[in-house]
Every structure is written in structure tokens, then in C-alpha cells.
Structure 1
Amino acid sequence: MRNKWRARLGVLTGASALVLSAVTASPVAADEVPPATARGDEGPPGWREVEMPPGTKIAEGVAPVQDAPLPDVKAAAAAAAAGPPSSCLGATAAYGAGGCFVPYGDIFWVGDLRKDGMSAAVGIYTDYGRAPDVCLNKNGVNTWVTCNKDYREDGNVRLQVWRYDSGTGKFYQPEAWSSWIPVDGQY
């Protein structure tokens, strides 16, 4: 009976040590990075600046609008708050930024998901050598914007999301990458 008790205690001790090591050794999730509080030219504490490749084209996204003959402010606000359609592929997110790609029309969606004084950005890369594009969401927290591009239908695109500081014009990690997405949407 004493041996059974010792075996159970050994298993319990081992399990406790394993849980403790997992809790203390696990990396901080991207969603747990502290918000930008005291930014300067060096960026938020603990964040690394991301250098853009040469030739990168940066565009500001526009709020999505529903199909209507005349601009409808309420419809545009509802579409911006609703987020991307279910046909959006390659959904990718990191601290406060999200993005995805709609293959029909080559439209990129960029969501600013955290109130921290920074904007969301999505970088778009191709597998055929085209210079990267970046789409910025400067519309504020809980909004989505779109950037309409034109890519080769036989190519693939990949998304990278970051935070963007419009005051300094710099991009910051944490970042996240999508897998390669066929431009024609056919996997």
C-alpha cells in the first residue's frame, strides 16, 4: 500500500513540475504584448521595428462600402464594423491587427483590433517577384478597410500583419504570416 501511495505521489509531483515548467517557460502570446504607452522613435517597449523591403508600395485602405448607387454613410459604417466576408482567405492576426484576402477582385482586408494608438498594417507578398504592397488601416480601433490590388491569376500571395505608428512611419512586431494563398482562390 505504501508503494502505491509513493507511486501516486511521484506521478502527482511530476505532473505538477510539468505544468509549472509549461506555465513559466511558455512564450508570451502576441495578444498579451503590452499596449504602446510611452512611444518614442524607438517604438513601444519590447517591440522590434520591421524594415520594409526596397520597392514596397504603401497604400492607405478605404472603408468598405456596400453596393449602392449613392454613398450611404450608415451602410459604409455598418460594413466597416462588420468585417470581412466569409469568402476571405488566409485570415491572419497578431496583436491588434488582422487581415485576409478575397480572391475575386484581389481585395485585401485589414482590421484594427486593439485600441493602442497604433494602426494595423498588412503586407502582401507574391511568389513571382512583384514588389511587396502594404495596406494600412488608419481608421481606428474596431474598423476594417480594404485595398484593391491586381495580381496574376496563376500566382500566390502571402500576408504579413503588423502594427504601424503613423507618427513615425514605422512598422512594428509582433507579426504573423499567412500560408500561401492562390490568387484565383482555387486550392
Structure 2
Amino acid sequence: MRVDWYPKLGVLAGASALALTAVTATPAPADDSPGGLQEVQMPADVEILEGVAPAPDTTVPFLAGRPKAAAASDTCLGDASAYGVKGCFQHHGDVVWSRDTEKDGLSAAVGIYTDYGRASAVCINKLGANTWATCNKDYSEDGKVRLRVMRYNGETGRFYQPESWSGWIPVDGQY
């Protein structure tokens, strides 16, 4: 019985190429530091906001993958994360949430950018590792915001990557 090897070799070559692509193209998880932080340049007019601890009875809003029963006011949109920081936007009240996830002496920073020309701001969480901080701003309900998460050194006033960006988030929460 004669065996036709060409189709089998083609399948094997395709599977090998797919496996190699998956190994070389997969980004590092957000919680893995790339071994060294690089400074990020921020606009000169960026407003620095010091985040505050949420009130003791405040529920941290649900992030992506929230339960379907979650109330609209308990929804955090546009979440983004990078080494040592998580951030999201709660459209009810225009609250930016910043979480520091690493005990490394740096703070979590969540930059807020608009699509309508308002000056950029950064919400800094100086409360320490494994804490949430909030910054409450009033944004145009007709606009969109975009988040940029990164690390911040309070002693030097410098920002560091790795960083990550969210997509554009409608301020009114209506996609």
C-alpha cells in the first residue's frame, strides 16, 4: 500500500509554524516585570491627582467579566493593567480607579486622556501595595476617555513603563 506523505507533511509543517508563532508572539503577562523599568515622558501640562482611599463601605466596581447581575453604577469600563498597576473608569460619577499590585516602592499611576481636548491628568495611588485609590473628575458626557496605566516614583516625580492603554471609553457608559 502506497502512502501519500505530502499532505501529512503539510499538516505537520503548519502545526509546527503555528506552535512557533504562539511561543514567539505571546506577550508577557501583565504581572511579569520585563527586568527593568524605562522612563515615560509625560506632557508638561499633565495634572497630577493624588488618589484617595475609597470609603470603607464602597464596593470596588466590577471589572471586565463582571456578573450580568451587576448594577450599571457598579461597572468599571476600559480596564487596563501592566506590571504593578490596574486601572479602570467608572462612568457613574466619572471615577478613575487605580490599583497598586506590587510592593516595589513605586506607585500605581493611571493617566486619563480625552477625545475633546481637555488637558491630561494622572491618578496616582500612593496608598501602597494591594490597595485601590480613586480620583473623581467631571468629564463631558458626550466625550470619551482613554486610560494609560504605568508606574510612578513619588521621590523623583517620574513615570515608568511597562505601560498599557485602554480603548476609548464613552463617559456616559453607552457603547
Whether the TM-score (by the shorter chain) exceeds 0.5 is yes
Match status 1:28 vs 2:28: yes
Structure 1 residue 111 displacement after superposition: 0.8
Using the alignment, how far apart are the partners of 2:114 and 2:17 within structure 1? 45
Instruction: Report 1:62-73 matches (<5 A).
Output: 62-66=52-56
CA distance in 2, matches of 1:57, 1:91: 21
Does residue 91 of structure 2 align to residue 103 of structure 1? yes
| Equivalent pair of 1:49/1:172 in contact (CA under 8 Å) | yes
The whole-number CA distance in structure 2 between the counterparts of 1:32 and 1:20 is 21
Matched ranges for 1:154-173 at <5 A: 154-173=142-161
Q: Distance in 2 between matches of 1:92 and 1:24?
A: 23
Paired with 1:179 and 1:21, the residues of 2 have a C-alpha distance of 25
What is the CA deviation profile of residues 50-78 of structure 1, one whole-angstrom value per residue up to 9, with x for unaligned ones? Answer: 11112111011000005xxxxxxxx5xxx
1:124 to 112, 119, 127: 112
In 2, the alpha carbon distance for the partners of 1:27 and 1:103 equals 29
User: What value does the CA root-mean-square deviation take over the aligned residues?
Assistant: 2.3
Residues 20-29 or 118-127, more deviating: 20-29
Aligned CA distance change for structure 1 residues 106 and 26 (closer, same or farther; 3 Å): closer
Distance 1:2 1:18 in 2: 29
Q: Give the C-alpha shift of residue 87 in structure 1.
A: 1.5
Q: Which amino acid aligns with 1:83?
A: V
Higher helix share: 1
Distance in 2, Cα, partners of 1:20 & 1:104: 44
Which digits, 9 at most, give the CA deviation of each residue in 1:28-47, with x for residues without a partner? 34432246xxxxxxxxx2x3
| Equivalent position to 2:44, from 54, 65, 86 | 54
Alignment of 1:8 with 2:8, yes or no, is: yes
| Matched-pair identity in % | 62
| Offset from partner CA, 1:128-178 (integer Å, 9 cap, x none) | 111101001111111101001112222221111111122322111111111
Aligned equivalents of 2:24 and 2:144: distance in 1?
A: 39
Residue matched to 1:18: 18
d(CA) in 2 for partners of 1:111 and 1:87?
16
Q: Structure 1 residues 2 and 121 mapped into 2: Cα distance closer, same or farther (>3 Å)?
A: farther
Q: Report deviation, 1:184.
A: 2.1
- Give 1:117 shift: 2.5
How far off its partner does 1:84 sit? Answer: 2.9
TM-score norm. by structure 2 comes to 0.80
Helix, strand or coil: the match of 1:31?
coil
